[in-house]
Amino acid sequence: MRIQEIEVYDWESLDALKDRAEIIEEIGDLDQFPSMSVFCRIGEDYFELVYSDTEGNYIRHYPDEKFFFRAIDRRRDEFGILDRREGSDFEDFFE
């Protein structure tokens, strides 16, 4: 299975999809980083909406939930973000 990707030239197109989607996780912040990823689901489909100040903007479609959650983990690593999901060691970090 392949991940499909399409370049988008404006944030309005990404925002239109984001408004219709169930947001799973947002990673990054355009105030702090040059890009931001919004991981979301529309119906049975899994997407990553990539907003960028410096490069192209993208919509990535993941073939299934397994690929989708792996992509979230990779993006967290890229941004240096701790895992905040249930069952993670996030709470232990602050104890």
Top-confidence residue, 70 or 34: 70
Average pLDDT for 39-49 = 96
Percentage of residues of the chain with pLDDT beyond 90: 65
pLDDT at 86: 47
Phi, psi for 80 (deg, rounded to 5): 70, 35
Phi, psi for 94 (deg, rounded to 5): -95, 0
pLDDT at 83: 54
Joined tokens for residue 76: 């967290």
Give the pLDDT confidence of 57-66 residue by residue, as tens digits.
999 999 999 9
pLDDT at 92: 43
